[in-house]
Amino acid sequence: MRSIPDPVQNLIDAFSRLPGIGPKSASRLAFFLLKSPEALTLELAEALEALKSETSQCQQCFNITLAGEDICEICASSERSDETICVVEEPLDVLAIERTGVYQGKYHVLMGVLSPIEGIGPDQIKIFQLLERLKNGHTKELIIATNPSMEGDATALYLQQRVAPMGIKVTRLARGLPVGGDIEYADQNTLQRALAYRQTME
């Protein structure tokens, strides 16, 4: 005999499949919704339905856009430079860079990274679409903003090798010590990168 009714257990199982949500957090969320006003649960259900039915993927940069729109607001903006493209792994990375308020170019979302161990090659992410996009001759600089991981580094190296022959400048986001961090607490990899990407003081 089950101690939890099936509808509640099904919701707990669904929450557990989300990234960063363990069994305990999933249970807390489910029971919170169970005792919440019906209006809140209906609002959540409608938002989840709209997430799929009212969003789409930009056909140029592959960022998230509204359903029915071929390209996103950033790609369509005449105020954004076509000469610079920033390559990121996921749509969330676009949001992070946009929050800085300093980048005024366009983006390209790879929707993943190269990972031979997991069988993810160039065909499984949006690399060839990027290479095709670069053939228009407008792009002067490609900023590679993949994460500082083995997969991110491998993806960056692959892109650099494929793009360099096109005569396009290829750069990568600097890595090193965080602002406000103490050297004594920095790990070895962070210090190595800080030394490798040191800059001239002006």
pLDDT at 1: 40
Q: Name the residue with tokens 């996009």.
A: 133
Supply angle C-alpha 81, 83, 89, rounded to 5.
85
CB-CB contact of 88 with 103 (8 Å): no
pLDDT at 182: 76
List the one residue out of 201, 92, 94, 110 whose CA is nearest residue 158: 110
Question: pLDDT tens digits, residue range 123-138?
Answer: 999 999 999 999 988 9
Instruction: Please write down the HEC assignment for all residues of the chain.
Output: CCCCCHHHHHHHHHHHCCCCCCHHHHHHHHHHHHHCCHHHHHHHHHHHHHHHHCEEECCCCCCEEECCCCCCHHHHCCCCCCCEEEEECCHHHHHHHHCCCCCCCEEEECCCCCEHHHCECCCCCCHHHHHHHHHHCCCCEEEECCCCCHHHHHHHHHHHHHHHHHCCEEEECCCCCCCCCCHHHCCHHHHHHHHHCCCCCC
Supply angle C-alpha 57, 59, 61, rounded to 5.
85
pLDDT at 135: 92
pLDDT at 183: 67
Is this structure's pTM higher than 0.85? no
Phi, psi (rounded to 5 degrees) for 172? -135, 150
Residues whose CB falls within 8 Å of the CB of residue 23, separated by 6 or more in sequence, listed in order:
12, 16
Distances (CA, A) of 29 to 7, 17, 74, 145, 195: 14, 13, 35, 34, 44
Residues in the chain where the model's pLDDT stays below 70 = 1-2, 183, 199-202
